Amino acid sequence: MMLIGHRGCKYPGYNQNTIRAFEKVTSEGVPAIEFDVQLSADKELVVVHNLDLEEVSTGKGEDRIPFLAEVFDFFASCAEDRRPSIHMELKGNNTGKQAGELFNEYVAAGKLNISDLLVSSFNWEELKSLREVCPEAKIALLDGAIRRNLLLKKTGPEAEKYFAELFA
């Protein structure tokens, strides 16, 4: 079983999906961190689950919504042998290609490894867009329950090759 820091952590005084939350769970040895990526109105990739300010802010001004590049900088700053796995969920439309291109920059610069990343989404099209620019990335299609036939309808027959690992 793998322990994953969902949105970093939800400890009192910590905002989810923030660098400070990621630092907290990393200091506790959590081996993987999940976070959400959306596109801002000005087309920047930001790490935020939703715009419910009670969830994304303690109201004390300690944290702000980070850009995806800042989150990748955080992971790149971790010693490779202690770096948590990156579980990036694409929440919004038009995030896959841009997120994949940005991750490729970190890999090309030797700051992160392709094996550090798992990308998930409820949106198959975003996963396909990411895979077009980052073909070696591990991907996971999210759904409310594991229902192979419904997933096939959502994704089409081209996704069948990935199902062998999911449906044994």
pTM as predicted:
0.84
- Inter-residue contact 16 to 44 (CB < 8 Å): no
79-132 pLDDT, tens digit each: 999 999 999 999 989 999 999 999 999 999 999 999 999 999 989 999 999 999
Please give the radius of gyration of the chain, using alpha carbons only, rounded to the nearest integer.
16
Please check the confidence at residue 161 and state whether its pLDDT lies above 90: no
More confident residue, 6 or 85: 85
Residue bearing tokens 């990308």: 119
User: How far is Cα 77 from Cα 14, in angstroms, rounded to an integer?
Assistant: 21
Spatial contact of 61 and 19, defined as CB atoms under 8 Å apart: no
Q: Average pLDDT in the 59-70 region? A: 84
